[in-house]
């Protein structure tokens, strides 16, 4: 068996389901932002694959920038302490900013990021996440655009990792509990 597959309990979202959803989100976002030259802010590392596909599904002028924050380290539980590992290169004052995330879980990472970016006076600040796990939320936070609402299971693939691996799986799968217990 493919070595990457041995720790996958089940496939939650297939490559095709993800592709269809990304195209749909791209069309919606292109209509919303067609005359706004938005700045897409990719939250590294998890959102890198979603960002690459989503930006290409938006057929309008846009810019991209990257932030790296970390709250999970090598664990499956959020520490709640968010650190900025890499900041934006662009000033966002007066810009239409769309944060692109792979997953909202407790919401602690995004909550921190939103407060931090609001302070820089963007013209607008919205959130697009591929996955939302609302059952685990510890702060009140709703994405403006969301691909899939998922149950409380630790997922990997399409950018999402466990202990830095599995990001290159083309689908989203549930990690076998024995892999991290």
50 belongs to the binding site for ligand 7HP (CB under 6 A): no
- Residue in 66, 72, 112, 158 binding ligand 7HP, rule: CB under 6 A: 72
Q: How far is the CB of 129 from ligand 7HP (least distance, A)?
A: 11
Among candidate residues 7, 53, 105, 161, the one labeled active-site is 105
- Judged by beta carbon distances under 5 to 8 A according to partner kind, the member of ligand PRP, ligand 7HP, none in contact with residue 116 is none
SS3 108: helix
Q: Closest-CB residue for ligand 7HP?
A: 105
54 belongs to the binding site for ligand 7HP (CB under 6 A): no
Radius of gyration of the chain (CA): 16
Told to judge if 152 belongs to the known catalytic residues of this protein, a careful annotator would answer no
Closer CB to ligand PRP, 123 or 149, in the complex: 149
Burial of 48 (0-12, 13-18, 19+ CB in 10 A): middle
User: Token pair for residue 37?
Assistant: 């030259």
Of 88, 103, 3, the closest CA to residue 48 belongs to 103
101 belongs to the binding site for ligand 7HP (CB under 6 A): no
Q: How many residues belong to the site for ligand 7HP (CB under 6 A)?
A: 7
Longest dimension (CA), the chain: 51
**Cα 150 to Cα 155: distance, rounded to the nearest angstrom:** 9
Phi and psi at residue 108, to the nearest 5°: -65, -40
154 belongs to the binding site for ligand 7HP (CB under 6 A): yes
Catalytic residues: 105
């Amino acid at each position: 068996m493919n070595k990457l597959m041995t720790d996958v309990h089940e496939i939650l979202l297939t490559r095709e389901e993800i592709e269809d959803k990304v195209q749909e989100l791209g069309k919606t976002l292109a209509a919303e932002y067609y005359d706004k030259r938005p700045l897409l802010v990719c939250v590294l590392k998890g959102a890198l694959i979603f960002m690459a596909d989503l930006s290409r599904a938006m057929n309008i002028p846009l810019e991209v920038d990257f932030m790296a924050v970390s709250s999970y380290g090598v664990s499956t539980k959020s520490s709640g302490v968010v650190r900025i590992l890499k900041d934006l290169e662009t000033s966002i004052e007066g810009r239409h900013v769309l944060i692109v995330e792979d997953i909202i879980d407790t919401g602690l990472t995004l909550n921190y990021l939103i407060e931090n970016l609001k302070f820089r006076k963007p013209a607008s600040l919205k959130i697009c996440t591929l996955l939302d796990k609302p059952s685990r939320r510890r702060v009140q936070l709703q994405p403006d655009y969301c691909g899939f609402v998922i149950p409380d299971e630790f997922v990997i693939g399409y950018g999402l990792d466990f202990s830095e691996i599995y990001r290159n799986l083309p689908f989203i799968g549930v990690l076998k509990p024995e892999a991290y217990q």
